[in-house]
Amino acid sequence: MTLKIIVLIKQVPDIEKVRFDVETGRIDRSSAPAEINPFDLNALEAAAQIKEKVGGYIIALSMGPPQAVSSLKDAMARGADEAILLEDKKFAGADTWATSYTLAGAIKKIGEYDIILCGEKTVDGDTGQVGAEVAEQLSIPHVYYVSKIVDVSDKNIVVVSEMNDASYTIEATYPVLVSVTKDVNKPRLPTLKDKLRAMKSDVKVWHAADLEGIIDLNCVGYFGSPTNVHKVVIPQERFREGKIFRSVNEGLENILNVLVKKRLI
């Protein structure tokens, strides 16, 4: 049996370089190159390892702007057999609910599948909600914060999930959504041959009309989003303040005063 694995990939800006537009409260995506969300690289690597162990067919799925094709080609260089981009002006400005609703619609269109893999969170939105919401939309179980894949067969998967300072070893039958942490593996680098092969491969692009009849198109994008970010504020950095005392006694006296004032002694 060949497992059908769907990997959710989000294209994000290089977070080390990106600038934030304080006026609009939005990330200025033109200020930094785009790449696959680092946690999604772990999800892809997990899919590649499962495929190597038991056989599989990997579909990379992303919702994003036309430029996200480059990240999906990168995903194909890293082991995906097929890649689908959900791209439409109607999808833009989606909150996490509308994002997961649209992704779930595309997964329904894909049809049968065994495992959906995603990252625990993204480095830009950073909500960590989309994976679980996709599972809920599809009415399938999900296992979050997976740091280790212990075993995988054509019938079930055994994983270690890290939650609330505890490790849970969980066995799940298919279909299941698994969200992974950075500890799950070390993503491999694609070879030049893989990159060249991926460059020549086609990324399928599905527009809103392709999901007609599967999802309600009034529930996608900005207008379908139940939440709306009104304001984003970047907290001012607070630095430690140092004070210099010229004698030990003066220093001790001041420390004692501070501790008494704060009712710590």
Ligand X SMILES: Cc1cc2nc3c(=O)[nH]c(=O)nc-3n(C[C@H](O)[C@H](O)[C@H](O)COP(=O)(O)OP(=O)(O)OC[C@H]3O[C@@H](n4cnc5c(N)ncnc54)[C@H](O)[C@@H]3O)c2cc1C
Cα 263 → chain centroid: 44
Q: In the bound complex, what is the minimum distance in angstroms from residue 49's beta carbon to ligand X?
A: 17
Q: Are strands 115-119 and 3-8 parallel, antiparallel or unpaired?
A: parallel
CA distance 155 to 172: 9
Neighbours of 57 (CB within 10 A): 16
| CB nearer to ligand X: pick between 95 and 114 | 95
Q: Tell the residue number behind the tokens 């059908």, with chain if given.
A: 4
Measured from the CB atom, the residue of 51 and 121 that comes closer to ligand X is 121
Cβ atoms 96, 125 nearer than 8 A: yes
Cβ proximity to ligand X: between 62 and 137 the closer is 62
Residue 131 or 187 with smaller CB distance to ligand X: 131
Quick one: which of 256, 207, 248, 253 has its CA closest to 105? 207
Residue numbers at the binding site for ligand X (CB under 6 A): 8-10, 37, 39-40, 43, 62-64, 93-96, 99, 103, 118-119, 121-122, 124-131, 225, 227-229
Residue 118, Cβ density class (10 Å: 0-12 exposed, 13-18 middle, ≥19 buried): buried
Q: How far is CA 253 from the centre of its chain?
A: 51
CB-based contacts of 237: which residues, under 8 Å, 6+ apart? none
Largest CA distance in the chain: 79
C-beta closer to ligand X: residue 15 or 155: 15
Please report how close the Cβ of residue 184 comes to ligand X at its closest, in angstroms: 12
